[in-house]
Amino acid sequence: MTTTTITTQGLVLRTVPYKQNGRVITLFTEKLGTIGCMVYGITPKNTRLNTQTSPLALASYTLTQKKGSLFTLKEVCDPLIIPELRYRLPLLKTAATFGEAISRSQAEFNPAPLLFQLTKAYFTYLAKAKNPLTLAQSYKLKTMKHDGLCNFQLRCCKCRKNQMSHYYEGDSYCDPCHRRMFTTDSIQFSQEEWHQLYLLTYSRSLAQIDQFEMTPTLEEKIDLIYNQAYQLTH
């Protein structure tokens, strides 16, 4: 039976114990998307393999697969080590948010190399983050953008003239257009909040994003947009 071997960078999303010395890991990979993978040789003495196949581990994984079976882990190289995750709880929570967002948004065997590179960039930046909560919310917004689930504009998507103040089902509206077109509630933003939202979504500079301190009100509105977007697609 033919065996296929592939090496790809990946992020461990979750693990499930398997028999005595094994586990099944879910990997978000650069080349294959989200996949399942068997890992053997998990013992108390093999701390390196245990760490490299635990949730939020990011490394280069060499995998083998026989036709019709799960991938099997062959080798792990070049792990990304972020010691700060061990003692800075806000950073660990932010990293967990990245993993949860991937699990929620990405289907199996659906390669998303640009999203993987974005995820790696956010992970790499975590060690020097001043406002990890801001990074977490920005990552959610960029995931939505990648999946085509948001259209944040500085001007109303209908009249193209007025500044937006309402967000409704994926589009941005000014107050007059929203009142004229819809009778249901929308998510309302101040101009300052909307400009911050726009920057968190479209800025390519993590240092610029990290300058903002997330307010509880804006955090709640971003969570509402994010949850609505993925409820509509699942």
> What is the Cα Rg of the chain in Å?
20
Query: How many other CB atoms sit within 10 Å of the CB of residue 181?
Result: 11
Number of residues written out for the chain: 234
Kindly list the structural domains of the chain, giving each domain's residue range(s) and its CATH number in brackets, ordered by start.
3-77 (2.40.50.140), 84-233 (1.20.1440.120)
Q: For residue 132, what pLDDT is reported?
A: 96
Q: For residue 1, what pLDDT is reported?
A: 60
Judge whether 82 and 123 are in contact, CB under 8 Å: yes
pLDDT in tens, the chain (234 residues): 688 999 999 999 999 999 889 999 999 999 999 999 999 999 988 999 999 999 999 999 999 998 777 899 999 999 998 888 888 999 999 999 999 999 999 999 999 999 999 999 999 999 999 999 999 999 999 999 999 998 888 899 899 888 888 898 888 898 899 888 887 778 999 999 999 999 999 999 999 999 999 999 999 999 999 999 998 655
Q: For residue 89, what pLDDT is reported?
A: 92
Nearest 10 degrees: Cα torsion 141, 194, 90, 143: 0
> Among candidates 60, 115, 55, which has minimal Cα distance to 85?
55
Q: 128-166 burial, b for 16+ CB within 10 Å, e for fewer?
A: ebebbbbbbbbbbbbbbbeeebbebeeebbbeeeeebbb
Q: 127-130 long-range CB contacts below 8 Å, 24 or more apart?
A: 127/82, 127/83, 127/84, 127/91, 129/91, 129/94, 129/210, 130/210, 130/211
Work out whether the CA dihedral 164, 170, 176, 179 comes out positive or negative.
negative
> Among candidates 94, 134, 137, 115, which has minimal Cα distance to 226?
137
